Structure 1
């Protein structure tokens, strides 16, 4: 049975006193209740020291702190439970967020996120792993938020529309032929639900976020569908999501076998947007600022759609592939990404798990090296299956 979905504006009232101020007794009671089943990072790091520090802040800032952890207070199925409200949160509330970020990203000692887009074409070629990987769906994307705006979790309707309109201006002049498709009613580029579903079926457009418990409670899905949309290049290899979990998800999709070409396409798109005059939010230590701290660092995710029928036993054992992938520093998701299932051929979205402490170039390298090992395991499973069949027919 699915959980009831609560909106942020309703949930936050549960943690205020009669004067409308943040009530830490109610917050701590909720965290204690959740500890009986599962402890998120938001829960674990909300210590008494954090409470005492929070009480010294202005009431406005205390309200922001409540908004940051409202997702974790609402549902106990999140391992993190945090959604930043503004880029400045990672400075103002670092007394709470820093130990959480460091634990999630396994950070020890002094650190500083570095960037490197020097990714060679012709080196990370998938047919060198398996000749059958001639035409593979390869995807790379980066999350970006723009300085001067609240993050999507705390934007109001007007700010969402204002940001979308600014992006339309960028798309009209940034140098790549394509078209923007808006979900905002009344927008000049508005598309119907039916047209939107066509893009979703092609795995281009993100889903209706109001069906997601976490995105509703933390405010990311508020005011749906205003301020949301997708720009798609004419050749359908470059895309930009507007108004999802971050202001922008900048995406490159290439059908082929050279991971370097995906990065080349993505970097071209990212550079074109930056040259339009937008300034992306970045933390001096933790790198790219994202709504969810799990994506900080490079903000980059790179993946391929691969088939693993033997490891998954015809798609019936997704957990086996996920466990093996995790041991290799990879993530295995369903054919449509997070929260989706694999098909009967064991088709999965495979990507490196690390975001922070690695450069963009290392993300690509780790994907390639992880795929070498993963496909070796798949081939061994194939050989073992053939051997068993041979023995059974002897």
Structure 2
């Protein structure tokens, strides 16, 4: 269990007496972490990268340190880097590009393309099992807005200004709903009890100050200022403000047709764009996100499912994660990344690829992966479908 440390304190360990970046200290820490787990941020901190960093201005060297802070502060990081502003992907391409290519398994020249032409009536879960009639299905896209710093380097004032900008958008984009703010003194502020009720419904994100990946990288700084959630009247559309990305735009549908989730999400996304906001995009990488794992489409599509047999009653999360990974999927706890599964092996299942695939392919991969995962759960139940996973 990590003791959470915030970025301003964490980064002091990598500065010299004059407050400048000390690359030898960074290298020593990466070497130390490499004995436990080698993140991609660690792997690509090469001698050639060090030479490049030496030629940067002092301010860009400080930014470069900020990019690495999540990885330097956590011994369980798989990636370990967070962008601090959209330009980081170009300024630090000598470090980030090979990392991005490995994570997304990109070979040759790849340019992100978008395709929301996702059929309704094709990716239907009851085709996998007739019991999968009412499933908790969700899709979300990560977005950041052009002209603003990314969350790791926003200060309190910028976070509050961004939240207020979005409140204006919610009042004009044409979909009935209500904004719930966590910001002290905000006109839409909700109580801690109301926030917990939204978390219990799996709507609102958790207290970010409990996650050392978010605190050490600066994502969680100034908590809870500038954070909140907009929820549509029918509770199928939601927008997070101020989590890992400025916006997480979410569709939650109870049913069995993955295409209907996409239909709802695209309607919400289009409404925001029509309000005049311009999202930050890269000519090659597509959607710009704080964590490079989400770039490209920025889309994550998932279902909540119980896998009691693969996980042995929730005691073997590692097995489910390995099986899912072999199918191009990710398995997470019900509370999202870094959360645990319960004793029924309840997991959030989604495709891992975001970049180099279209939005339509993400949906297709989820459906095809679930077919295979469900078959494996049946096999783990001794072939008895009645004792295997119920996706809900």
Matched, 1:350 2:356: no
Show the counterpart of 2:165. Answer: 166
For residue 385 of structure 1, report the CA deviation from its aligned partner.
6.0
For residue 36 of structure 1, report the CA deviation from its aligned partner.
2.4
Show the counterpart of 1:274. Answer: 273
Give the Cα separation in 1 of the matches to 2:236 and 2:338: 24
TM-score using structure 2 length: 0.95
Show the counterpart of 1:390. Answer: none
Q: CA RMSD in A?
A: 1.5
SS in 2 for 1:262: helix
For residue 383 of structure 1, report the CA deviation from its aligned partner.
4.1
TM-score using structure 1 length: 0.95
- 5 Å-filtered alignment, 1:1-394, equals 2-384=1-383
Larger radius of gyration: 1
Show the counterpart of 2:390. Answer: none
Instruction: Name the count of aligned residue pairs.
Output: 386
Contact 2:378–2:384, Cα closer than 8 Å, also in 1: no
Give the Cα separation in 2 of the matches to 1:251 and 1:205: 11
Change (3 A) 1:375 1:222: same
SS in 1 for 2:311: coil
For residue 143 of structure 1, report the CA deviation from its aligned partner.
0.3
For residue 104 of structure 1, report the CA deviation from its aligned partner.
1.1
For residue 343 of structure 1, report the CA deviation from its aligned partner.
3.0
For residue 99 of structure 1, report the CA deviation from its aligned partner.
0.9
Gaps of 5+ in 1: 387-394
Moved more, 293-302 or 220-229: 293-302
Show the counterpart of 1:392. Answer: none
Moved more, 377-386 or 337-346: 377-386
Show the counterpart of 2:388. Answer: none
Instruction: Summarize deviations over 1:251-277 as a string: whole Å, max 9, x none.
Output: 000000100000000000001011111
Moved more, 9-18 or 120-129: 9-18
Moved more, 224-233 or 294-303: 294-303
Give the Cα separation in 2 of the matches to 1:165 and 1:25: 42
Contact 2:67–2:217, Cα closer than 8 Å, also in 1: yes
Instruction: Summarize deviations over 1:333-388 as a string: whole Å, max 9, x none.
Output: 222322233333332211111111110000000111111112222223334469xx
Give the Cα separation in 1 of the matches to 2:35 and 2:326: 29
For residue 285 of structure 1, report the CA deviation from its aligned partner.
1.0
Give the Cα separation in 2 of the matches to 1:379 and 1:78: 32
Give the Cα separation in 1 of the matches to 2:53 and 2:165: 35
Moved more, 20-29 or 138-147: 20-29
For residue 49 of structure 1, report the CA deviation from its aligned partner.
1.4
Gaps of 5+ in 2: 386-392
